[in-house]
Amino acid sequence: MSGYTIIDNRKIEPHITFFRVNPTDIKLTLKEVFVSLSDLCWISSFDKDYHQNAFQVRAEATINYIADNIIKDNADSVTSSSGEYVVSEIARKTIIQEMSYLDIPLAELFKIKDVGNHGFDFYSINGSKIILFGEAKYVAGQNAYGRALKQIVKFENEKQDHSDIADIDLFCCDVSKTNFSNNKKGFVAAFSSKIITTDMLVENIKKNKDFQALKKFEEIICVAVNL
Amino acid sequence: MNDLIKDIIAGENIEVIFKTVLNDLYRIGPTSTTDMEILSYLFLYHPVEFEKYKTAILNYMAVFYKNIDRDSLKDVIFGQYRKYIRDTYNKEYTPIQASVIKGIDANKCFSFSAPTSTGKSYVFMNKIQECQNDVVVVVPSRALINEYYLKLCDLIQDKAVNILTFIDKINTKKSKRNIFIVTPERCRELFKQKDLFNVELFLFDEAQLSNEDSKRGLYFDSIVRRCLKAYPDATYVFAHPFVKNPESQIEKNHFNSETSFAIRYTQKNVGQMFLCRDNNWKFYHFGIDTSIMGRKKRACNFDPIEKTILNNGSVLFYISKSKIYNKEFLKQFDRYISLCTEIEDPRINDYIEKIKLYTGSDTAINKNHYSQMTALLKRGIVIHHGSLPLQTRIIIEQFTKEGFCRICFATSTLEQGINMPFDVVYLDRLEASKPLSVKNLIGRAGRSTLDNKFDFGYVIINSLNNRTKFREVMTNEEELDNVSILEKEDQQDDDYTEFKEAILNGTLSDEFNLTENELAKLSTDDIETIAKNILDSLFIKENFISLDEIRNDEYCRLSLYSHFKSLYEGYLGRSLNDGESNVLNTAIKIIIWRVYGKTFKNMCWYRYSHASKSHERDAREKSGKGTDDLMAHFFTGYNDIPNKNLNVFSLFPMGTKAKDVDYDIIMYDTYDYIDKLIGFKLSDVFYATFFKYFEKTNDTRALKLAKYIKYGTDEERYIWMLRYGLSFEDIEVLDKHIDRINSEGILFKKSINDITEEQKVAIIRYL
């Protein structure tokens, strides 16, 4: 059970891929994230008894509640934070599954203590050993590609990718790091999308100025998640 | 990130710093001094940015007593845990508080350590309230007894629960169960009556006392073991501040390891930042972990003490007792004292009146009995130390808790865990030799509030050069011994060795608190002769000699003094030197005043009048003469005896003018005599002497004197009142409203309804 189906997969340009994904079970994805986040939280080791027993039952109720809010487009901060995790995780899994790229867990879920300053939400490495930096945006009831692309451009300008490299060093082979130091890198824009045809969505993305700016990089992947 | 104080002040990399510390907080909790330090700097220097992260910070700190929102999925994880705690315990506990409850419930012996301000006392109070049977709380000091007593009385309204500061079986008609709050010494009374009580919970707070290399440390461990033997089915809880190995209590007292559990909590509820100052009172920030916070001190562009006082915060100055006694603190900290103008609030006047009533002090300058300590309260300035009379201490602690205290000048007595947090703690001295005490004191910086904000406090040291020493105190871990001193082969003086052997052999008398050997010394023919001499000199037939005779004998020339001296010498097995004799004579005089029913205030007045030659000054003033050339009387102050090296000394140095005799000093000194010398040493010796003498001779004068020494009265009715927790001051007011009093309860007259609520406080639980 993956909790989503890929309903569209097309090339915008040879080095630019577009996916459209339909979540079939938001709760499943959310639960995976929620459980992983909880595992990392100090409470889980502080009160093992709670974590092993009471947590599961309570988590079900919590996740159901949040997932319902995402479905209903309730735009509060918890919903939007959760929606972003769902978008990140589905996008991350999509490129691993469809493109067989490297599986690196969500940045938030790295089990390494010192990781904390990361800017991007997730990462992967493609077959040509190019590191991809992923950014996810969720906006209740809206297409959020504009925000995702804008954030990527901003981070790239601020050299956030350079500082993030230290965080994911463990996952990167020497070739990928050399590529990165030669400015060979790629980006993944993951975003929530709403009632609009894929053709129209792709057309709109193509017109986006941030998208234009990013085209120069080795690889760009756009993942639209229907939320 | 290796110079964070500089970076934060300069506003560099702020977002990165926030993210890093948030990540730490999320994963390891609020356990790192440095993380809490960083948060304090961020809060202070970047309040706008802090606001963006506030919800996450408070959630990750799990300060669930605050009304925290949830903004993200990660916050929800904490929210869910908070709800779990609320559903399980019906209280807004923090994870640490919930864990303490769980530890107590799941084990026969639970030992833990936690930083100051983790809210353990709230948990204890609830736990004590929940118990169905008797509870014994053991604390190291009478000040802590009172703190527990007041809190429990507030919390437990059910009058069927006796809350007592001695072990006693009273109020039996109404009471279902007892809560005893006692020192280890008072706890011994339990074993004589062990079948009368069904103790469910023993709570040893500030249990690091067991590590004290002294008789008290020995005694503490012996009490723990005797409790365990007498009540093997009870639950035992040991609470400590910062110690590294709370499991030591389990090991050293041989609790069953399978039903015992120990844990060290390091989570903090408040942040702290550390500063030092130069000779010009310029302040500098410095960090504990130099590899993160930076090696250099960084100028702080404001005076944190001044800022705190002006913002209605509170400051604790930890200073030496000598600075309090010689008033040097007034000059040294004048810049802050002068910021505190008089506060117009009737509640403050109420507190001052209470103190005046108890101590007999006056707040009008240049008058006899003027007490600066009392007068300063009007400006929100509190003085707190170990020689402050207990009643006064209770009043000023309530004053502080009610939020009136702006500045507190305190000596180390505050260390004993009295719950008085401050916004600023200033260490005028750094006793690196007592790291646990210093840490405890540092722990007072930062008040945890219910407000939806990050709480932090300032810790300031008095010099730029003490930073390394201070960092060592902060980072060194305190370890308790895993072997009880009862089982250690150590060489100390004979007195200690005899005491230890008596404990090990079970020959320490619970009734008299003396060893078999000591009791034997007090039962010899020689001592009996001396006892008879004392009785003959103190009584005319069955009555005491007149008070006037005592008062007119300024120089202790009455024969009773020399007899008491002989008695004490017989007990010690050596002669007293002149310095020791002077101290003993003063103590005897105070004991006799108590026999005559004189209150603390009366004793202070007598002593002040003598030292300051008040009658002579009055006479001179009336006849228009000056008093400037009149010098203070020679005045023997308190000193611990026996002490072979004690010289003859006067508390007021040569050249002190009679009119300059300080009433505060007289108060502190009188209390030292009563508390430290008479209470802790002499009364046991004298009580045992006269009680034993009575048993042998049936001389009722001896029984009368023994009771006076122990209770301050020989009237059964008053002794009952004392056993119900009334003070002599209370008895003065309440006696006439009590019809009958005995072990079953107090029967009041109807007139009890006519007295004020304030006057009812001491008996409200028995009404």
Mean pLDDT of all residues belonging to chain B: 91
Which residues, at least 6 apart from B131, have a Cβ–Cβ distance to it below 8 Å?
B177, B200, B201
- For tokens 């009478």, what's the residue? B142
Angle at B256 between CA B251 and CA B262, to 5 degrees: 55
Q: Could you tell me the pLDDT band of residue B494, with boundaries at 50, 70 and 90?
A: confident
Give the whole-angstrom CA distance, residue A96 versus residue A226: 19
- Residues of A engaging B, defined by a Cβ cutoff of 8 Å: 33-34, 37-38, 40-43, 46-47, 49-50, 54-55, 58-59, 62, 66, 77-78, 81-82, 85, 108, 113, 115-118, 163
Q: Could you tell me the pLDDT band of residue B555, with boundaries at 50, 70 and 90?
A: low
Please tell me which residue of chain A has the smallest CA distance to B74.
Answer: A37
Beta strands B407-410 and B381-384, pairing class: parallel
Q: What is the mean pLDDT of residues B120-143?
A: 93
Which residues in chain A are closer than 8 Å to B22, comparing Cβ atoms? 116
Nearest to A47 among B74, B76, B95 (CB): B95
pLDDT digits (tens, 9 = 90+) for A16-39: 999 999 999 889 999 989 999 999
CB contact under 8 A, A78 and B23: no
B284: left (phi over 0), alpha (psi -120 to 50) or beta: beta
What's the pLDDT score for residue B434?
77
Q: Could you tell me the pLDDT band of residue A115, with boundaries at 50, 70 and 90?
A: low
First to last CA, chain A: 18
CB contact under 8 A, A42 and B29: yes
Given CB atoms, is B95 within the 8 Å cutoff of chain A?
A: yes
Please tell me which residue of chain A has the smallest CA distance to B103.
Answer: A47
Whether the link from the prior residue into B246 is cis, omega within 30° of 0, is no
- Please count the other Cβ atoms lying within 10 Å of the Cβ belonging to residue A169: 11
Angle at B344 between CA B409 and CA B373, to 5 degrees: 30
Amino acid occupying residue B564: F
Given CB atoms, is B80 within the 8 Å cutoff of chain A?
A: yes
Which residues in chain B are closer than 8 Å to A40, comparing Cβ atoms? 26-27
CA distance B430 to chain A (A): 34
What's the pLDDT score for residue A45?
93
Nearest to A182 by CA among A224, A141, A157, A217: A217
Q: Could you tell me the pLDDT band of residue B552, with boundaries at 50, 70 and 90?
A: confident
What's the pLDDT score for residue A107?
82
- For tokens 């809560």, what's the residue? B179
CB contact under 8 A, B26 and A41: yes
Regarding predicted confidence, which is higher, A74 or B430?
A: B430
Question: Where do the H-state alpha helices sit in B387-465?
Answer: 390-401, 435-442
In the predicted model, is pLDDT for residue B632 greater than 70? yes
Structure tokens at B763: 């008996």
Domain boundaries, chain B: 97-264, 273-475, 522-711, 716-766
CB contact under 8 A, B76 and A66: yes
Sign of the Cα torsion B727, B730, B735, B738 reads negative
Which residues in chain B are closer than 8 Å to A121, comparing Cβ atoms? none
Q: What is the mean pLDDT of residues B396-413?
A: 88
Please tell me which residue of chain A has the smallest CA distance to B14.
Answer: A117
3-state secondary structure B332-400: HCHHHHCCCCCCCCHHHHHHHHHHHHHHCCECCCCCCCECHHHHHHHHCEEEECCCCCHHHHHHHHHHH
Which residues in chain A are closer than 8 Å to B14, comparing Cβ atoms? none
CB contact under 8 A, A49 and B26: no
Q: B273-475, superfamily in CATH?
A: P-loop containing nucleotide triphosphate hydrolases (3.40.50.300)
What's the pLDDT score for residue B595?
85
Which residues in chain A are closer than 8 Å to B26, comparing Cβ atoms? 40-42
Specify the length of chain B in residues.
767
Of the spans B118-122, B172-176, B305-309, B674-678, which averages the highest pLDDT?
A: B305-309
Give the best residue of B14, B19, B73, B105 to mutate against chain A (max A CB count within 10 A): B73
As separate numbers, helices (DSSP H) first and strands (DSSP E) second, chain A gives 10, 6
Q: Could you tell me the pLDDT band of residue B739, with boundaries at 50, 70 and 90?
A: very high
Specify the length of chain A in residues.
227
What's the pLDDT score for residue A204?
94
- Please count the other Cβ atoms lying within 10 Å of the Cβ belonging to residue A14: 7
B365 backbone dihedrals φ, ψ, rounded to 5°? -65, 150
CB contact under 8 A, A78 and B19: no
CB contact under 8 A, B16 and A117: yes
Give the whole-angstrom CA distance, residue A221 versus residue A134: 9
Given CB atoms, is B99 within the 8 Å cutoff of chain A?
A: yes
Which residues in chain B are closer than 8 Å to A62, comparing Cβ atoms? 76, 80
Amino acid occupying residue A188: V
CB contact under 8 A, A77 and B62: no
Buried-exposed string B205-238: b where 16+ CB fall within 10 A, e elsewhere? bbbbbbbeeebebbbbbbbbbbbbeebeebbbbb
CB contact under 8 A, B26 and A81: no
Please tell me which residue of chain A has the smallest CA distance to B25.
Answer: A42
Give yes or no for a contact between B268 and B30, defined as CB atoms under 8 angstroms apart.
yes
Domain over B97-264 is classified CATH 3.40.50.1370: no
Lowest-pLDDT range, A205-219, B189-203, B477-491? B477-491
Angle at B64 between CA B63 and CA B69, to 5 degrees: 100
What's the pLDDT score for residue B141?
84
pLDDT digits (tens, 9 = 90+) for B74-113: 999 999 999 999 999 999 999 999 999 999 999 999 999 9
Query: How much of chain B, in percent, has pLDDT values that exceed 90?
Result: 69
In the predicted model, is pLDDT for residue B292 greater than 80? yes
Q: What is the mean pLDDT of residues B471-491?
A: 85
SS3 state of residue A172: coil
CA distance B55 to chain A (A): 11
Please tell me which residue of chain B has the smallest CA distance to A51.
Answer: B81
Nearest to B77 among A37, A46, A115 (CB): A37
Given CB atoms, is B83 within the 8 Å cutoff of chain A?
A: yes
Q: What is the mean pLDDT of residues B581-604?
A: 91
Give the whole-angstrom CA distance, residue B55 versus residue B665: 51
Q: Could you tell me the pLDDT band of residue B417, with boundaries at 50, 70 and 90?
A: very low
Domain boundaries, chain A: 4-226
Give the whole-angstrom CA distance, residue A205 versus residue A199: 10
Q: Could you tell me the pLDDT band of residue B712, with boundaries at 50, 70 and 90?
A: confident
Which residues in chain A are closer than 8 Å to B78, comparing Cβ atoms? 41, 43
Give the whole-angstrom CA distance, residue B744 versus residue B726: 16
Q: What is the mean pLDDT of residues B394-421?
A: 80
Query: How much of chain B, in percent, has pLDDT values that exceed 70?
Result: 98
What's the pLDDT score for residue B337?
97
Cα A182 vs. chain centroid, distance in angstroms? 25
Give the whole-angstrom CA distance, residue B5 versus residue B467: 15
Nearest to B22 among A34, A58, A116 (CB): A116
CB contact under 8 A, A77 and B80: no
Nearest to B27 among A40, A58, A77 (CB): A40
- For tokens 């008070």, what's the residue? B547
Give the best residue of A26, A35, A40, A42 to mutate against chain B (max B CB count within 10 A): A42
- Please count the other Cβ atoms lying within 10 Å of the Cβ belonging to residue A60: 13
Regarding predicted confidence, which is higher, B420 or A118?
A: B420
Question: Where do the H-state alpha helices sit in B411-524?
Answer: 435-442, 467-475, 494-505, 516-521
Give the best residue of A78, A82, A106 to mutate against chain B (max B CB count within 10 A): A78
